[in-house]
């Protein structure tokens, strides 16, 4: 089974090539022959058959001339990412670059936390290195570096970040993943944080990537899930030279064992317990694990949180919550372990949302170059099929390499579009793979939903930003200016980061309604794990409440629904809170954010 589970990475040494090289034209033709829809009666059959069921109609919309505008300098953000690469080809230096939107001071304005590497990628911690940066947003919309004052100038070799109110005290706490020990910062509610990692028991002994806060046992406290990547030791590392020109390069992940995922249960009082082994989430080995992105989601609709993990070059995990602190991997059965040809892919970023308007959550993953990104369509019964071809995503996503991503209604026309940050792993990929059109620096992509679940690459007509090339990694999405359209901060590897303002509202387009959920009692205060259904003009839009998604980042957890030309009167939201309570909130106002407080709505079934 080993060879068939390995994903190819041009430019990196591949110890087990698995499949012969497939040209883009051949791959597209393969997908054209593979669109018969079938419920996955057998796991392998589920991977080989896919199709589409569409019951969604467009609200309208269309791309602006400049969909996103670079406002980095205007907003006083000067973050320069450093990965510490000095020619040793240490794999961590190619994978990092996280960020988090966090309203740490509770003033209603999103602040920005940026995760830094440092000048020596061979060291887990470097006291003299550049630190992570916390930018506080002022009333004028400009950002000020308050890292040292706030006590969050972490100098570990940083990867990503997660945000959640783990102690339910009303302010946002911060977790930072590193190549080395991780850090949990408790918010002191006075503009400062305290590092409580050791006493909390969440330092984690592995090379961690993404992390997610979620309440897995329904006790109202946020627990912590961490994806760990590889068993990797810089002290015994040697660069690989398996390419045709014998040039030093990063080794393929199949050279290393995957690190097991970690699950920390919140016991209250600032203490967590590592229950990874007894929970059953510690599968590892050469052809397992290697987690990068993670998405907390209720894939089977049973009311508890599961975790979909994007694994690199091996089958993905779908940790199904069995209750009682136990999980099982249901990815193969559900149809999200492999692609339609029963092959694993080098998955990086991940997000979930209802792209075709059928009321079921679908999942999108970004992958390595010459693999295509993958869209798994939900059928509503815990099963999914690979709908990448039917969604029109093959040609647009085959050549570039993707990391950060988001399913979101960028133009507020009532359907979910896709943003992907692009950038290769191998600096010399153009020289190592001549004639393929591959490059190290790549432009980001904006893929517009036509309202029926099919996507078109509109990057070329969406403004100057999409003609620029960077080495993109993490992409954190949030409405920093509270105008209703979702903005994005992009971490570029060893390059300047970029804050992109969404220009939809400024361009005079799009109606919207924003919802900030507040839990209470048996529901965690952030309401992570809740599900929202918005009813407007005879239509129902759905969303899950979370912050974790994309790649190495924490997003703005507020829910924004685009309304376009739909009537703005009579908006109604049905909320299934994370603890199972169902309430209806009526007469919501379009064009602004409003708080939905658990216990303040009308009880419903």
Give me the pLDDT at residue 42, please. Answer: 39
What is the average per-residue pLDDT within 436-462? 97
Residue 458: per-residue pLDDT: 98
CATH of the domain at 129: 2.130.10.10
Over 50: is that where the pLDDT of 46 sits? no
| Residues 506 and 545 both lie in one domain | no
The per-residue pLDDT for range 130-162, each reduced to its tens digit, is: 899 999 999 999 999 999 999 999 999 999 999
pLDDT digits (tens, 9 = 90+) for 179-224: 999 999 999 999 999 999 999 999 999 999 999 999 999 999 999 9
Statement to judge: residues 19 and 74 lie in one domain: yes
pLDDT at residue 194, as a whole number: 99
pLDDT at residue 48 in the model: 37
Locate tokens 């630190």: which residue? 131
444, 478, 513 - which closes a domain: 513
Running DSSP on this structure, what letter comes out for residue 3?
A: G
Q: What pLDDT, on a 0 to 100 scale, did the predictor assign at position 551?
A: 99
Q: What integer pLDDT is reported at residue 44 of this predicted model?
A: 38
Across the strands, what pairs with 490? 475, 498
Domain count, the chain: 2
Q: Of 47 and 427, which is predicted with more confidence? A: 427
The answer, yes or no, to whether residue 25 has pLDDT greater than 70, is no
- Better-predicted residue by pLDDT, 277 or 285: 277
In DSSP terms, which residues pair with 271 in a beta bridge?
268
- The mean per-residue pLDDT over the stretch 222-243 comes to 89
Predicted pLDDT at 119: 59
Above 70 in pLDDT, residue 329? yes
Q: What is the pLDDT of residues 536-590, one digit of tens each?
A: 877 899 999 999 999 999 999 999 999 987 667 789 999 999 999 999 999 999 9
Residue 35 in this model has a pLDDT that exceeds 60: no
Residues 416 and 540 grouped into a single domain: no
436 and 563 in a single domain? The answer is no
Least confident of 31-45, 278-292, 296-310, 436-450: 31-45
pLDDT score at 96 = 98
On whether both 466 and 524 belong to a single domain, the answer is no
Give the H or E element holding residue 31.
helix 24-32
Calculate ∠ Cα 566-569-572, nearest 5°: 90
Instruction: Tell me, yes or no, whether 305 and 368 share the same domain.
Output: yes
Instruction: Give the per-residue pLDDT at 238.
Output: 78
Residue range 3-15, pLDDT digits in tens: 333 444 545 554 3
- In degrees, rounded to 5, the angle at the alpha carbon of residue 121 between the alpha carbons of residues 116 and 124 is 80
d(CA 406, CA 488): 10
Region 399-408: mean pLDDT is: 99
Q: Are residues 385 and 238 in the same domain?
A: yes
Asked whether the predicted pLDDT for residue 411 surpasses 60, the reply is yes
Q: How much of the chain, in percent, has pLDDT values that exceed 70?
A: 86
The answer on 169 and 300 residing in a single domain is yes
pLDDT confidence of residue 494? 96
What pLDDT shows up at residue 249? 87
- Report whether pLDDT(438) > 50: yes
- Rounded distance, CA 62 to CA 334, Å? 34
Tell me, what's the pLDDT at 32? 47
pLDDT of residue 570: 80
pLDDT of residue 147: 98
Residue 83 has pLDDT above 70, yes or no: yes
Based on the fold, state whether residues 161 and 299 are members of the same structural domain: yes
Three-class secondary structure assignment of 345-390: CECCCEEEECCCCCCCCEEEECCCCCCCCEEEEECCCCCEEECCCC
Pick the last residue of a domain from 513, 540, 575: 513
Q: Are residues 334 and 387 in the same domain?
A: yes
Q: Give the pLDDT confidence score for residue 45 in this predicted structure.
A: 39
Can you give the pLDDT at residue 122? Answer: 56
pLDDT at 103: 99
Let me know whether 501 and 560 are in one domain. Answer: no
| Domain region containing 590 | 514-603
- Alpha-carbon distance of 266 to 377, in angstroms, equals 33
Question: What is the per-residue pLDDT for 246?
Answer: 78
Domain final position from 465, 498, 513 = 513
Chain mean pLDDT for the chain? 89
> At residue 47, does pLDDT exceed 60?
no
- pLDDT of amino acid 21: 40
d(CA 414, CA 478): 18
In 3D space, the residue among 227, 3, 194, 189 whose CA is nearest the CA of residue 104 turns out to be 189
| Phi, psi angle pair for 516, to nearest 5° | -115, 115
Domain co-membership, 577 together with 495: no
């Amino acid at each position: 089974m080993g060879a068939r589970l390995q994903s190819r990475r041009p430019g990196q040494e591949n110890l087990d090539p698995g499949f012969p090289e497939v040209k883009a034209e051949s791959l597209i033709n393969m997908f054209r022959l593979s669109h018969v829809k079938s419920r996955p009666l057998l796991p392998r059959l589920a991977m080989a058959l896919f199709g589409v069921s569409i019951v969604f109609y467009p609200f309208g919309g269309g791309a602006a001339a400049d969909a996103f505008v670079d406002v980095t300098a205007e907003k006083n953000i000067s973050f320069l990412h450093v990965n510490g690469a000095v020619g040793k080809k240490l794999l961590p230096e190619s994978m990092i670059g996280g960020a988090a939107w966090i309203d740490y001071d509770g003033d209603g304005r999103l602040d920005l936390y940026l995760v830094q590497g440092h000048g020596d990628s061979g060291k887990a911690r470097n006291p003299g290195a550049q630190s992570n940066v916390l930018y506080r947003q002022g009333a004028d919309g400009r950002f000020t570096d308050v890292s040292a004052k706030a006590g969050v100038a972490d100098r570990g070799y940083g990867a990503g970040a997660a945000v959640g109110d783990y102690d339910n005290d009303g302010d946002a706490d911060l977790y930072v993943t590193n190549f080395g020990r991780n850090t949990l910062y408790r918010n002191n509610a006075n503009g400062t944080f305290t590092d409580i990692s050791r006493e909390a028991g969440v330092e984690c002994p592995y090379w961690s990537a993404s992390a997610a806060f979620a309440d897995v046992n329904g006790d109202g406290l946020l627990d912590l899930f961490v994806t760990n990547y590889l068993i990797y030791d810089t002290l015994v590392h040697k660069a690989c030279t398996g390419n045709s020109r014998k040039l030093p390069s990063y080794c393929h992940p199949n050279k290393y064992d995957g690190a097991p995922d970690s699950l920390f249960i919140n016991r209250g009082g600032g203490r967590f317990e590592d229950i990874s082994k007894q929970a059953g989430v510690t599968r590892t080995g050469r052809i397992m694990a290697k987690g990068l992105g993670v998405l907390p989601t209720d894939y089977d609709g049973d009311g508890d949180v599961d975790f979909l993990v994007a694994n690199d070059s091996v089958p993905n995990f779908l940790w199904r919550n069995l209750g009682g602190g136990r999980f099982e991997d249901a990815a193969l059965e559900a149809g999200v372990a492999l692609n339609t040809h029963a092959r694993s892919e080098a998955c990086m970023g991940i997000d979930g949302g209802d792209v075709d308007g059928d009321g079921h959550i679908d999942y999108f993953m970004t992958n390595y170059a010459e693999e295509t990104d993958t869209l798994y369509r939900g059928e509503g019964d815990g099963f999914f099929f690979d709908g990448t071809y039917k969604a029109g995503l093959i040609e647009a996503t085959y050549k570039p390499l993707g990391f950060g991503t988001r399913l979101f209604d960028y133009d507020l026309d009532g359907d979910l579009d896709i943003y992907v940050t692009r950038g290769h792993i191998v600096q010399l990929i153009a020289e190592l793979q001549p004639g393929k059109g591959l490059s190290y620096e790549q432009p980001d992509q904006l893929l517009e939903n036509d309202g029926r679940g099919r996507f078109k690459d509109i990057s070329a007509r969406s403004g100057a930003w999409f003609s620029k090339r960077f080495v993109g990694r993490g992409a954190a999405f949030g409405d920093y200016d509270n105008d209703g359209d979702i903005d994005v901060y992009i971490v570029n590897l060893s390059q300047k980061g970029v804050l992109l303002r969404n220009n939809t509202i400024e361009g005079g387009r799009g109606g919207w309604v924003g919802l900030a959920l507040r839990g209470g009692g048996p529901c965690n205060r952030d309401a992570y794990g809740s599900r929202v259904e918005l009813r407007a003009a005879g239509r129902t839009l759905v969303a899950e409440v979370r912050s974790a998604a994309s790649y190495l980042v924490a997003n703005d957890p507020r829910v924004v629904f685009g309304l376009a030309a739909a009537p703005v009167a009579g908006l109604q939201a049905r909320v299934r809170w994370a603890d199972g309570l169902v309430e209806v909130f009526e007469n919501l106002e379009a064009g602004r954010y409003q708080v939905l407080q658990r216990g303040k709505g009308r009880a419903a079934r």
